[in-house]
Amino acid sequence: MSADRVANLQRAMQLIADAVEDLPAECRELAGNALLNVTAEAVAQDVGCLEAGRIFARLADLLARGLQPPAREAITLSTFDA
């Protein structure tokens, strides 16, 4: 992933995190689920359903092993060697 793409991804993540904090309290607890749905759709549109499935499978493997991706630091799941 290029340095510009990583910087832009980290900026987007920060903007999203800030926006979540600004949500009404009754919506804030649902933000993760809402973001997951938006993310799944965006990733599938970006790389196709098959590759999106592979990316989410690698993420699931990380989570199953107790490893949580950092919320404010970009990692590349499409090339991450889990």
Q: What is the pLDDT of residue 68?
A: 80
Q: What is the pLDDT of residue 3?
A: 80
Could you tell me the sign of the dihedral formed by the alpha carbons of 53, 63, 61, 70, in that order?
A: positive
In a domain, 76, yes or no: no
Q: What is the pLDDT of residue 81?
A: 40
Q: How many domains does the chain have?
A: 1
Q: What is the pLDDT of residue 80?
A: 43
Q: What is the pLDDT of residue 69?
A: 73
In a domain, 53, yes or no: yes
Residue range(s) defining the domain that contains residue 18? 3-64
In a domain, 80, yes or no: no
In a domain, 81, yes or no: no
Q: Low-confidence residues of the chain, pLDDT below 70?
A: 1, 71-72, 74-82
In a domain, 34, yes or no: yes
Q: What is the pLDDT of residue 51?
A: 92
In a domain, 12, yes or no: yes
Could you tell me the sign of the dihedral formed by the alpha carbons of 13, 18, 21, 24, in that order?
A: negative
Q: What is the 3-state secondary structure (H, E, C) of 39-70?
A: HHHHHHHHHCHHHHHHHHHHHHHHHHCCCCCC
